[in-house]
Chains A and B, each alone.
Chain A
Amino acid sequence: MEYVVEMLKIRKEFPGVVANDDITLQLKPGEIHALLGENGAGKSTLMSILFGLYPPDQGTIKVRGQEVKITDPNVANDLGIGMVHQHFKLVHNFTVTENIMLGMEMTKGLVLDHKAAAERIRQLSQRYGLNVDPEAKIEDISVGMQQRVEILKMLYRDAEVLIFDEPTSVLTPQEIQDLMVIMRNLANEGKSIILITHKLKEIKAIADRCTVIRRGRVVGTVDVASTSEEELARMMVGREVSFTAEKTERIPGDVVLKVENLYAYDNRKVMALRGFSLEVRSGEIVGLAGVDGNGQAELVEVITGMRKAESGRVLLKGVDITNCSIRDRIRMGIAHIPADRHKHGLILDYTLQENMILKVYDQAPFAEKGLLNREAIAEYAARLMAEFDVRSGQGATALARSLSGGNQQKAIVGREIDLNPELLLAVQPTRGLDVGAIEYIHRRILEQRGKGKAVLLVSLELDEILNLADRIAVIHNGELVGVVDAKEANEHEIGLMMAGGQRGATA
């Protein structure tokens, strides 16, 4: 039987890295085919090749039996291949119609024909159950709808093959359900779908077959229905994966962080925190679960001091720090592993040494009377690097930019933990890292808990929270929906809470 797309023996090398090594992927018409692999396994590269962003070094691509060379996205589009990107490529102040017709505009003579395009969009939207308003501006619509606009972009171009790149990381559980239905509809209408993901549950829910990739190589292609999650995980990682970390019983101590009735605006002057309250005690990890964009970022900013709250209080060990400066809070014992290590965690153009002292550079022994003490700084950095397994080819004087993501994150983790903080704020601490680094950082966080420190773990990965937290708080629309004891938590209940359903005890 004919495959609609075949990628045969694809090899792609970048300087120092073989991203794809002899990969073969075959897509049947009308199927939903998952591409499973960890961060860094090579999935995105493979799909970028299919979509025309890179040429393969070796191997061939066949579309409907014909060999083709896909040199740029336009060629991919002409062949009927479309990609729904993980980071939406939508112009914020254009309407839905303008975004969809960009690059393939319908014209009446010289002029853009908005009406005809909008009409076509409406028809497509109805046919596939997408429910999109053509006249709305992108910046005004929800994330779920934005994703459906991305899907429509592909359908507008008569795509037959749709590639979804990690589509669910930005959706609420309900929106994920909606997306699953839409994907089924598309498949039933004859479209073929490649789903790039590292989420086993979704694969089990929707995919027909699954190709597993590890370190640039295909591990196998399996029928999803007859393969268990554990089996898929084992193929993905290469060894037995423990789904839960080793956690000892601990009785939490005094309250370290108390957040009382916080109200705060976000950057667009919309209220992001509405009366949020939470407590974190010493010796416990509180996990904050929620879909991206529900106020977590603003909460972290208020606690660290980057954002002023409109009302409410933040107390550290009983002391009101609501109006304290960032520096004071650091001195009082708040450490922070930020969500975006490049933007907030490190100064990439500084050396590793200079980054290690980022929070203590003005204190003895690193500086005296405003003058830096180079030896003390070098010693400190060396000690931290050894203790926290930070590897850098050129040593401590290398620019932070030159380290791998995992080592950059370890450097940040080391720096923050060495401050011996009372409260550790870990936000997305393992984003974009491979399993080894993830396990290491999880271990360190548990260590802090063991030492009697308080940890607030903010993460978009529910599994991470379920794994590490003692108590799980859920945030939705800036409000605390509920707090659940980890031992009693189940994912379904938490998913409901993330979408706004009320359950469980309050903090």
Chain B
Amino acid sequence: MWWHLIEQIFPYAIAYTVPLLITALGGLYSERSGVVNIGLEGLMVVGFFTSALTISRLESSLSPVVAIGLGLVLATLAGAVFSLLHAFASVTLNANQVISGTAINMLAGAITVYLARHITGSGNILIMNGLIRRNVPVLSKIPILGPLFFTQTYVTTWLVLAILLLSWFLLYRTPFGLRLRACGEHPQAADAAGINVYRMRYIAVLLSGACAGLGGAIILVTYAGEFNGTVAGLGFLALAALIFGQWKPLGILGATFFFGLASTIANVSQAIPALAKVPGIFLKNFPYIVTLLVLVFFSKSTQAPRAAGEPYDKGKR
């Protein structure tokens, strides 16, 4: 009985994890280059909105697959473009990165709902076709692992995992990654080595916007089905996952999965006799309280990029 329960939960947990993971990955790029991006929440909303708009407009005239694909692509682009605002403020103007990020969140939230309301009146945009869940051909037959990880999966899950692996490679094995990390640890050293810190940070912020935009779109096509103006704090949770995962790709994989699992359990608690007795208030708050505990626990030995959050002023030598 337990096993059946876990089998049932896992696909949901994974579905919930994936948008969190890709967004946290975006945050990783940004923070590793030295720019704190509080605006991930808003950038997810932008992707959420853009994909909803695109797909709802196109799904009647094009095949669902193409519509969804386009939706994902445009959402990614929209996130990147919107993040330019944050990049401009934080990198070029050396603004306070927290304030700039908060402004992005508010802007995204307001403008998307404004436009959505103009289009549909209610502010919600519905799409007809989301992604279908499939079983991975050979792998779903593997005992234990098969039913857990390879059945009833979305194709976007695999996309995100591929991006994760690619990111790990990029970050640790290529010159780009070395330079990016240098910008986040000691921008003066990077500058003296001839690296354009400003350009690096712009690229990193754009990547974070793209990832967050994609994350928002994935929410739409996997479990939401409709744009409703908010991603319920997922963007902030991604930031917490970043700290929890100690700014390493594999670390955030673990951290986001933890959050995904915890939230799913909270959501389905009613169906599980053992858990149904636990007051909802504890289950729902569990991820947040754990995050606080994790923050405390990691506060002493933090691996945060040393220069993250500090505006880089070339004049300072």
Contacts and interface: CB of A to CB of B under 8 A. Distances in A.
A–B contact at 8 Å CB threshold (below)? yes
Interface stretch (A35-43, A87-95, A315-323, A336-344): A87-95
Most buried by B among A73, A102, A112: A102
Contact of A93 (B178, B179, B185, B317): B185
Given A74-B194, A102-B195, A89 B189 contact: yes
Contacts of B191: 73, 89
B192 A73 contact: yes
Interface string B10-53: 00000000000000000000000000000000000000000000
Interface of B: 173-175, 178-179, 181-182, 185-186, 188-195, 306, 317
A86 to B, nearest CB: 9
Contacts of B188: 87, 89
Given A111-B173, A112-B174, A91 B186 contact: yes
Most buried by A among B174, B181, B188, B193: B193
B175 A48 contact: no
B185 A89 contact: no
A110 interface: yes
A284 interface: no
B194 A112 contact: no
Nearest to A90: B189
Most buried by B among A72, A73, A90, A103: A103
B197 to A, nearest CB: 11
Nearest to A74: B194
A77 interface: yes
Interface in A88-135: 89-94, 98-99, 101-105, 107, 110-112
B174 A85 contact: no
B194 A90 contact: no
B192 A72 contact: no
A91 B194 contact: no
Contacts of A77: 194
25 contacts: A73-B191, A73-B192, A74-B194, A87-B188, A87-B317, A89-B191, A89-B192, A89-B193, A90-B186, A90-B189, A91-B181, A91-B185, A91-B186, A92-B186, A94-B178, A94-B181, A94-B185, A102-B182, A103-B190, A103-B193, A103-B194, A107-B174, A110-B174, A112-B173, A112-B175
Contact of A112 (B178, B182, B185, B186): B178
Interface residues of A, number: 27
Given A77-B194, A99-B189, A91 B174 contact: no
Interface string A144-174: 0000000001000000000000000000000
A53 interface: yes
Contacts of A101: 178
Given A73-B194, A102-B190, A103-B190, 4 more contacts: A83-B192, A89-B189, A91-B182, A102-B193
Most buried by B among A89, A92, A98, A153: A89
Nearest to A269: B300
A91 to B, nearest CB: 5
Contacts of A102: 178-179, 182, 189-190, 193, 195
Given A102-B189, A105-B175, A94 B317 contact: no
B195 A53 contact: no
B61 to A, nearest CB: 40
B234 to A, nearest CB: 30
B192 A92 contact: no
A87 B173 CA distance: 28
Contacts of B193: 73, 89, 102-104, 153
Given A90-B189, A98-B178, A103 B317 contact: no
A90 B189 CA distance: 6
Contact of A92 (B185, B190, B195): B185
Nearest to B305: A93
B317 A53 contact: yes
B201 to A, nearest CB: 16
Interface string A201-214: 00000000000000
Contacts of B192: 73, 83, 85, 89
A101 B195 CA distance: 12
3 closest A-B pairs (Cβ-Cβ)?
A103-B193, A89-B189, A105-B175
